Every structure is written in C-alpha cells, then in structure tokens.
Amino acid sequence: MKRMLSVSLFLVIALCLHGCGEGKKPSSSGSPQSSQGNSDVPDRLPTDPPANPRADPPADPPADPASDELGRIHQELNNTEWQVRLVPQSGKGKEKTDVLRLVRGKFTSDMLATAGCPSSNYTLRIKNKRAEVETMQTSEKLGTIFWRIQLRDGKMRGVVVMKLKRGKDEVLSLLSTSSKKIQPPPPGTEKEAEKVPAPSKKAAVTPKKAAPTEEPKTAVTPEKAAPTEEPKTVPEKTPRPRR
C-alpha cells in the first residue's frame, strides 16, 4: 500500500514538473526576443495601396509661340484690302495694277476675277521669321497663277507666276502701295458671288433701236380728168352785098 502511494506521488510530482517546464518555453506566436533573433522577418506586412488612387490632372502643354504669332497675323490680315503693283521681271510688257482681298480665309484678285478665277484658300506660315501667304488660282480661260507674298513692315512683297494657256509664261514682282480694313460681306454671300460670272471687259452691246414702222399708205388712184372740149369756132357770116 505504501509502495502504491509513493508511486502515485512520484507521478504527480513528475507531471507538475513537466507542466512547469512547458510554461517557461517561449510561445511560437513570437515575442520581442524571437523577433530580434530573426531580423529577416518584418514585424508588419506592407499594406496594399488603395484600389482607386486619386490621380493628379495632367499638366497643360507648354504654349507654342509660333502658333500664337500665326493667330495674331491671321487676325491682322482678315478683312483687309491691298492695292498692289505687278511689274514684269523680264522688263518687257506693261506694269499692271490689282486689288487683293483677304476675307474669312479666302484670297481674291480683282484682275483675275474678270478672267473667271474664283476666290481661293490661302496658306499662312512663318518662314525665316517672316509671315508668308501662298495660294493658287485656276482659270479655264487664262491658266494657273501662283502667288507667294511676304509680309514685312506692314507691306506686301512677293512674286506672281502665271502659267498661261496662250502665250508665254509671265513672272511678276508684287509690291503693295496701300492697304485698309474693309467690312466683310454677310455670311453665305461669298459662294453666291462666285457663281455669278465675272463681267467681260468688252463694252456691252446696246441693242439697236427698231426703226419705227410706217403705216402702209393706201395708193390713191388719180381720177381720170374729163376730156376738155376744144371750143368750136363759129365762122363769121359775111354780109352779102345788096343789089
């Protein structure tokens, strides 16, 4: 009996000692000492970025000084009229004068309008720090005309190349003499004006006045004159002598 009690007491003591030994061991969940012992393992995991981060608006592109300059020149040229001289570069031929108009992006020449050339679109560009106007006009009667004009100090200088259907081609030097702002026509009237044929240089033929119609004269038949009777001469009676 005593032996059994001693065995059971020994088992109880052994179990108590075993339980106390497990309580002193570090936990597997980690402690300050365990985290310091393994420096490769981070204390905290990085948090994920938000699903829809607020993006900053894109910055405005830098302003183009060339486009700003073109816009300013276009505003200055719009609705303007120019008196120009056209001088043959060959030295032969007569000097010509013309009136150029730039309205709503259209280029018009009065000289070519009389030959049936409608208004044309023109190109405005900056070349060698100078503004240039280029356009091309076509006429079935005249041919093809190329315009290249430079704007300098408020004046026009340029070259006009005329590819004529008849005769030799001409190259003319252009120089403006004056310019002014004009009132643009109402919208929609430019196309209607282009449909109207240009007036001819020839003098208008005035219709001849019709000769006044004379009423037919009725022929008057002369009445036959009554035959004139010759006066009868009565012979005078000579008195007989008395016996």
Q: What is the pLDDT of residue 18?
A: 63
Helix (H) or strand (E) holding 4: helix 2-24
Does residue 73 form part of some domain? no
Structural domain count, the chain: 1
The full DSSP string for 108-140 is: EEHHHHTTTPPPEE-EEEEETTEEEEEEEEEET
Does residue 48 form part of some domain? no
| Tokens read off for 115 | 């030959």
Please check whether residue 123 is in contact with residue 133, taking contact to mean a CB–CB distance below 8 angstroms.
yes
Distance, CA of 8 to CA of 16 (rounded, Å): 12
Return the residue matching tokens 């009565």.
234
Does residue 101 form part of some domain? yes
The answer for 82, left when phi > 0, alpha when psi is -120 to 50, beta otherwise, is: beta
81 vs 71 pLDDT, higher one: 81
Residue 128 has pLDDT above 60, yes or no: yes
Does residue 25 form part of some domain? no
3-class secondary structure, 175: strand
CB atoms within 10 A of CB 172: 22
Q: What is the pLDDT of residue 133?
A: 96
Burial annotation 124-149 (CB, 10 A radius, 16+ → b, else e): beeeeeebbbebbbebeebbebebeb
Q: What is the CATH number of the domain that holds 157?
A: 2.40.160
Does residue 112 form part of some domain? yes
Question: For the chain, give me the number of helices (H) and strands (E)?
Answer: 5, 9
Mean pLDDT for the stretch of residues 116-143 = 91
Mean pLDDT for the stretch of residues 102-119 = 92
Compute CA 156 distance to the chain's CA centroid, rounded to the nearest angstrom.
20
Q: What is the pLDDT of residue 35?
A: 45
68 vs 83 pLDDT, higher one: 83
Mean pLDDT for the stretch of residues 56-81 = 77
Q: Determine which of 26-35, 82-91, 96-105, 226-235 has the lowest per-residue pLDDT on average.
A: 26-35
In degrees, rounded to 5, the angle at the alpha carbon of residue 163 between the alpha carbons of residues 159 and 168 is 105
- Give the confidence band of 137 by pLDDT, cuts at 50, 70, 90: very high
Q: What is the pLDDT of residue 196?
A: 43
Does residue 223 form part of some domain? no
Does residue 86 form part of some domain? yes
Mean pLDDT for the stretch of residues 68-90 = 93
The pTM is what? 0.53
Distance, CA of 149 to CA of 157 (rounded, Å): 6
Give the domain range for residue 93: 80-184
Residue 94 has pLDDT above 70, yes or no: yes
Chain segment 154-208, per-residue pLDDT in tens:
999 999 999 998 888 999 999 999 999 999 877 766 554 455 444 444 444 455 5
Does residue 120 form part of some domain? yes
The CA–CA distances, whole Å, from 87 to 82, 113, 159, 198 equal 16, 19, 10, 24
